[in-house]
Amino acid sequence: MPTQTRAASQSRRIPPKTEPPEPKAALLANLDDIEDEDNILVIGQDGPDLMCALMRAGAAQVTHLRSHDRPEADSASLAIVPLVPSIDWLSNALPAIRRALHANGRLMLSLAAQPITQNLLRRVLTLHGFAAIRTRRARTGLVLTAELPAFGLRRYA
């Protein structure tokens, strides 16, 4: 009879650290030719980190606004909202964002994916005069890009 006992040892492996993906990573991956943009407008609470990342990526001028209330008219060629809180917020913010964009300006949005969100967002963007709406899936949700054509609806300041 064996008098020895073996203790079963559990593996003491520490799982690798997995940090949550950052929304700015998905936005930066979908941007191309950032050096060609005159002025980039970042709107929202998560703007300072994205603003620094854009400058490191080669953006000439980046402006951050915490609120969409009063952006300067025709002041940006690209507007980025790193995190859209709700569709209601976006529908209230789009007139001001549209006013801030140059003709042929671009808009980029990042938001959490929901089943009805994509169609509703397309409708809201189209009603505000945006065209060429593209949707891409990211780990953090959806990334939408849209363009403001130089023709079409008249803009009033």
Decide: 42 and 80 in contact? Cβ < 8 Å.
Answer: yes
Are 72 and 156 in contact by the 8 Å Cβ rule? The answer is no
Second-level CATH architecture of 23-147: 3-Layer(aba) Sandwich (3.40)
Q: pTM for the complete prediction?
A: 0.75
Q: What count of residues does the chain have?
A: 157
The percent of residues in the chain predicted with pLDDT above 90, rounded, is 15
More confident residue, 109 or 14: 109
Three-state SS letters, the chain: CCCCCCCCCCCCCCCCCCCCCCHHHHHHHHCCCHHHCCCEEEECCCHHHHHHHHHHCCCCCEEEECCCCCCCCCCEEEEEECCCCCHHHHHHHHHHHHHHEEEEEEEEEEECCCCCHHHHHHHHHHHCCCEEEEEEEECCEEEEEEECCCCCCCCCC
User: Positive or negative, the Cα torsion across 124, 64, 84, 17?
Assistant: positive
- Tens-digit pLDDT profile for residues 68-125: 677 788 889 899 988 888 888 888 999 999 999 988 899 999 888 776 678 888 899 9
